[in-house]
Amino acid sequence: MEDSAPYNPLSKRNLAASIVSKLLSQSPEKLPPPRFPGAGIYAIYYTGPFPAYAKVAAANRQSRFAQPIYVGKAIPAGGRKGLEGFDVPHGYALSNRLGDHGDSIGAAGNLSTEDFRCRWLVVDEVFIPLAESLLISHFKPLWNVVVEGFGNHDPGRGRISGRKPSWDVIHPGRSWAERLQPATTCDEILAQVNAHNESVPIPPGEPSL
């Protein structure tokens, strides 16, 4: 029996879906792309030879780009604490975030930025967290839900007792992470990756919701 509830184009899910659909219609670009203004959402895709990511890479080759390995958002600095109300100046928040990700990948000894592409979309700051949540819940990207820490920044020497992110355990190279102690082993993380690959169906063709 079909749901008899009337369609609400302004529901949170439908608003998020329209934004994500627009993001997924964008042509993938090199990571990082040329600098541009604005804040918004993005998806990063992997196509390289790292063995644990073979299933993800296969879904993204031949220009299909069906399974992001990481999704995220970039909101204006003032918008994080609500200090400036609506219409916060966006600056280059999204471009800077993608640039940071490119630096992280470039620092890793077993990854290459040549094996990554990204889609991005400048979005009004009110809708950014909503769209990011839908992207994560739908795609369950490896670097969001299993190999955590890719988006982390240097915690500073005052927090040197913190634990090394899982991402840095299997992709060593970021200098600040080398000061931290791992909470788990590379083998344990890769086992979690394999389990995730088995449990999450990866679409064979173009991405969709």
- At 16 the three-state DSSP class reads helix
Q: Which residues pair with 89 in a beta bridge?
A: none
Residue 15 dihedral angles phi and psi, to the nearest 5°: -65, -45
Q: Which residues contact 122 (CB under 8 A, 6 or more apart)?
A: 36, 37, 38, 39, 40, 90, 94
DSSP 7: P
User: How far is it, in rounded angstroms, from Cα 118 to Cα 64?
Assistant: 12
Percent of the chain at pLDDT exceeding 90: 69
What residue type is assigned to position 179 of the chain?
R
Residue 115 has pLDDT above 90, yes or no: yes
User: How far is it, in rounded angstroms, from Cα 124 to Cα 88?
Assistant: 9
- Quote the Cα angle for 184-196-18, to 5°: 120
User: How far is it, in rounded angstroms, from Cα 203 to Cα 79?
Assistant: 34
Contact 84, 73 (CB under 8 A): no
H or E segment at 29?
strand 29-30
User: How far is it, in rounded angstroms, from Cα 131 to Cα 123?
Assistant: 9
Mean pLDDT of the chain: 88
- Looking at residue 159, its pLDDT comes to 54
**What tokens appear for 176 in the block?**
């600040």
Look at 64 and 203; give whichever has higher pLDDT: 64
Residue 201 has pLDDT above 90, yes or no: no
Q: How far is CA 180 from the centre of its chain?
A: 23
User: How far is it, in rounded angstroms, from Cα 181 to Cα 172?
Assistant: 12
**What tokens appear for 202 in the block?**
């990866």
* Residue 148 Cα distances to 15, 114, 185, 204, angstroms: 27, 22, 13, 25
Percent of the chain at pLDDT exceeding 70: 87
Q: Which residues contact 5 (CB under 8 A, 6 or more apart)?
A: none
Q: What is the pLDDT of residues 62-80, one digit of tens each?
A: 888 999 999 999 998 765 5
- Looking at residue 77, its pLDDT comes to 74
pTM of the model: 0.89
